[in-house]
Amino acid sequence: MTKDEMVQRVATWLKRIERRVRNSFGDDISTPAKRRQALVHFHLMDHAALRLPWTNFDKVAEGVYRSNHPGPARLRRYREMGITTILNLRGEDRYSPWLFEKEACDALGLRLVTAKIYARKAAKRREILKLVDTLKSIDKPFLLHCKSGADRAGFAAVLYRVIVEGIPLEEARSHLSLRYLHLKWTRTGIVDHILDVYEDRNAEAPIGLEEWFRTEYDPKAIEASFNERPRFRRARSA
C-alpha cells in the first residue's frame, strides 16, 4: 500500500466515524435534556458556533438576501429587517439544524420553504427545476441559505440573478467567489462546472439557462465530465 493510499484509507475511516457520531444524537428537542444535546449537536457537529461571528450575509437583489445557516437569534434579526420568508437549500431532515430553524420560524411567523440542492454533486433535474420554480414564485423579502452560505447559496443566487432578473451569467457568477469562501478548485467546484457546461452549450447555439435546465441538463454527464478533470481523476486513483 502506498503512502497516498494509506492517507486516503485513514481519511475515509475518520469520515465514517464522524458521520456515525453526528447521526447518533441531535434529533430530538422535545425535553430539556434532549434539547441540550441537540444544541451541542447544532453548535459542534453542524459548526453553528463558527456561524455566530461569521454570517456570510449579503444582498443578492432587491428583497433577496443570502447567508449561511442562521440560528434562532439571527432569524429574529432578519424578521426585524423585514424578511418574511426563508429558503432552506439543505432540505428538511430530522436533526438539530432543521429542528431549531423550523421551531424558530414558526414562533416568529416566518414562512420556511425548502429546495434541496448539493454542494459536492450535481442535483437531479427535478431538484434544479424545483429550485428554479421556487425562486420565480417565492414571496419577498426572502433569505436563501445553505450551511456555509458559500456554494449552494451562491449557485442559487446566480440562478436568481440570471433566470428571474435577466442579469448576464458572467456578471451573476460573482456570487460564486472567494468573497463568500467558495473554493471552485475543490469538490464544490461542481456548481461552477454546471454553469461552465451551460456556457459551452450556449456558445454553440443560444439557449436560455432555464430552458437548458428544463430540456437538456444531464447531471450524470456533468458528474462524469467533472470527475475526469485532472485533479479529481488523480484523487480517485489515490
pLDDT tens-place string over residues 115-159: 999 999 999 999 999 999 999 999 999 999 999 999 999 999 999
Q: Give pLDDT tens digits for 186-237.
A: 999 999 999 999 999 999 999 999 999 999 999 999 999 999 877 654 444 3
Asked if residue 57 has pLDDT above 90, the reply is yes
E strand or H helix at 197, and its extent? Answer: helix 190-204
Same domain, 138 and 28: no
Lowest mean pLDDT among 16-25, 28-37, 188-197, 216-225: 16-25
Query: How far is residue 212's CA from residue 86's CA, in Å, rounded to a whole number?
Result: 27
Q: Is residue 77 part of a domain?
A: yes
Number of structural domains found in the chain = 2
Query: pTM for the whole thing?
Result: 0.90
Contacts 24+ apart (CB under 8 A), 157-161: 157/60, 157/64, 157/66, 158/195, 159/131, 159/132, 159/135, 159/209, 160/60, 160/61, 160/64, 160/135, 161/60, 161/61
Count the residues in the chain: 238
Q: How many CB atoms are closer than 10 A to CB 198?
A: 20
Q: Is residue 51 part of a domain?
A: no
Same domain, 127 and 68: yes
> Which residues have C-beta within 8 Å of that of residue 167, sequence separation ≥ 6?
161
Structural domain of residue 199, as residue ranges?
56-237
> Which residues have C-beta within 8 Å of that of residue 114, sequence separation ≥ 6?
87, 88, 89, 90, 91, 92
State residue 49's pLDDT score. 95
Same domain, 80 and 40: no
Same domain, 68 and 107: yes
Q: Is residue 222 part of a domain?
A: yes
Same domain, 34 and 60: no
Same domain, 5 and 114: no
Which of the two residues, 68 and 232, has the higher pLDDT score? 68
Same domain, 15 and 114: no
Q: Give pLDDT tens digits for 43-56.
A: 999 999 999 999 99
pLDDT averaged over the chain? 92
**27, 94 Cβ separation under 8 angstroms:** yes
> Apex CA 85: angle with CA 80 and CA 88, to 5°?
120
Query: How far is residue 221's CA from residue 226's CA, in Å, rounded to a whole number?
Result: 9
Q: Is residue 50 part of a domain?
A: no
State residue 14's pLDDT score. 58
